[in-house]
Structure 1
């Protein structure tokens, strides 16, 4: 009996040491520092969560890039929190720790300077994403958070790479993202008769990325236009990316920012859905007969094929180009992102 008691004491001491070490890693881990991420539980709905955290449904949607009121169990939501200032804290450090900004924290608390003091209680609201209707426009880092915080009901097995061809760089003025997205949606819905904009994601020359069609809906009309049953089969586990621009050799020269975004977004999708880049998981529009839905890869002669995603897309649009110039860069980016997630 005495041996068991001694063992319990040792376990308590070891746990206490571990707890103290863990809690002293950084000010962000201080005991008075609550997480600003809420994980959705059974029975939750947006009004209930908004009420709990003293915010509004609309603000919750903007903080998290929610395209509707639907939330899923296990989904992670950024929420406003009350925080007690600890030694070493600054407004900038707090803004970085809680996905906020110095300006937002000052406004939420009526602060007229950057001075804060230990023991002060601050409301810290997360940043709001740029949204218009269903469209969510994000930086690469914002998209990473969005992707890993969301829950999805559909299995994703392949990523489709497209270029818009039109609109191209000539139509982009640096601030008309939503206008171009709405124009594409109008064409897809009213011109093509589809239910929504075809693609889930659109990348822009300035390096931003927009979510359009909900991830839980397969893309529509992206491959096999004349063979509907084959089209539905291909698209059932697909996500479509439209890279704004004309990336044929006589078209637009891709900007470094858009190049970075295409690589990062593709790598993030690979990681999120447990995929490895190859011709089956990262597929080019050029490799499919648009009438029959047949995957022809590099044997396109005699078939109805497009140059999409462009004859100058990361070195070219055939499978050798993809294996030599695109997939290795995606794999490298995946390794870099993994290191930040550990």
Structure 2
């Protein structure tokens, strides 16, 4: 009778928090759907974790939660025949070592009926920057909710820094350098771009998605520039693609990230939804597309960017790859 009363009280407490109990055996979904009234503290408290860990696990740049957002959370799991630590780590976005540490395990041996706490692994974050693989970014973008309407994706190359400055491990240093230049050199409020792709195939979130890019087209007419940027997301692809050959890893990431953005915001690849820096007059803000003669234009995202930087190149060499990737992603989600 005493145990029954404790169980009932626990369930009532969980309902009062507005969060489901975290200890349901073999809950095959370690995603929590954010509801009205939720806070990070309430969710963290229910799943016996911390706000700091929840933010690292989910790549959160602030404490803001939006209804419908999905959060990766730790769960309790009851071992069944055929389970291994490796299989559980793959199923629940964890690692073998994290599971062993969370449960005080000294070996990889687990037993049928054993209760295991399985914490998702934290993302690679430094300050506001979140560095991810393609798969991690897919999980991140599809689980997040955003308040700002996005109608177009701006495609850029960094030019500087280029491949020569990338050493394979200095992602955060380069991001911090770009932010410093944008804030202290250009007078902008933050790093200009929401996303940066790297030669090793990783992608980093920088500027929050709910904040429009700033100075992304470098237009002298700031009123026109802000109007263009209002419904845009900016991607900077690290490299100088007028001269440098893009790596296969970065190429695949650019295609995948762009496809995921199209899916997330309900867009179809066209010259209106995926726009190149090269197509805009940097003085007037006029969209000149391929009629750049006599206008102040840049080569960005590069004369070698997926066949070139013209609208014809985009339609022939980039948009079809994005559309194909969208179909692959959507098929995998069924």
TM-score (structure 2 length as normaliser): 0.91
Matched residue, 1:175: 169
Matched residue, 1:292: 284
Cα distance in 1 for partners of 2:269, 2:97 equals 41
SS of equivalent residue, structure 2 residue 136? helix
Q: Does 1:129 align with 2:112?
A: no
Cα distance in 1 for partners of 2:267, 2:218 equals 24
Q: 2:194 aligns with which of 197, 200, 205?
A: 200
Cα distance in 1 for partners of 2:76, 2:143 equals 21
Q: Does 1:82 align with 2:91?
A: no
Q: Does 1:302 align with 2:294?
A: yes
Q: Does 1:266 align with 2:258?
A: yes
Q: 1:70 aligns with which of 59, 64, 76?
A: 64
Q: Map 1:123-162; keep pairs closer than 5 Å.
A: 123-162=117-156
SS of equivalent residue, structure 2 residue 77? strand
SS of equivalent residue, structure 2 residue 130? strand
Q: Deviations over 1:135-166 (max 9, x none)?
A: 00000000000000000000111011000000
2:197 touches 2:236 (CA, 8 Å); kept in 1? yes
Q: 2:311 aligns with which of 319, 323, 327?
A: 319
**Displacement after TM superposition at 1:226 (Å):** 1.1
Cα distance in 2 for partners of 1:149, 1:338 equals 15
Q: Does 1:230 align with 2:224?
A: yes
Cα distance in 2 for partners of 1:43, 1:274 equals 27
2:25 touches 2:77 (CA, 8 Å); kept in 1? no
Q: Deviations over 1:229-255 (max 9, x none)?
A: 11111111100000000000xx21100
- Which has the larger Rg? 1
1:224 touches 1:289 (CA, 8 Å); kept in 2? no
Cα distance in 1 for partners of 2:27, 2:184 equals 50
SS of equivalent residue, structure 1 residue 210? strand
**Displacement after TM superposition at 1:223 (Å):** 2.1
Q: Deviations over 1:65-117 (max 9, x none)?
A: 00011111111100111111112211111111111111111111111111111
Segments of 4+ in structure 1 off by > 4 A? none
Matched residue, 1:52: 46
Q: Map 1:32-43; keep pairs closer than 5 Å.
A: 32-43=26-37
2:307 touches 2:313 (CA, 8 Å); kept in 1? yes
Q: Map 1:87-98; keep pairs closer than 5 Å.
A: 87-98=81-92
Cα distance in 2 for partners of 1:38, 1:68 equals 18
Q: Does 1:105 align with 2:99?
A: yes
**Displacement after TM superposition at 1:339 (Å):** 1.2
1:266 touches 1:330 (CA, 8 Å); kept in 2? yes
Cα distance in 2 for partners of 1:330, 1:225 equals 28
Q: Map 1:20-31; keep pairs closer than 5 Å.
A: none
Please tell me the root mean square deviation across aligned C-alpha atoms, in Å. 1.1
1:163 touches 1:308 (CA, 8 Å); kept in 2? yes
**What runs of 5+ residues in structure 1 fail to find an aligned partner?**
1-29
TM-score (structure 1 length as normaliser): 0.89
Cα distance in 2 for partners of 1:174, 1:317 equals 27
Count of aligned pairs between the two proteins? 311
Matched residue, 1:277: 269
**Displacement after TM superposition at 1:32 (Å):** 3.1
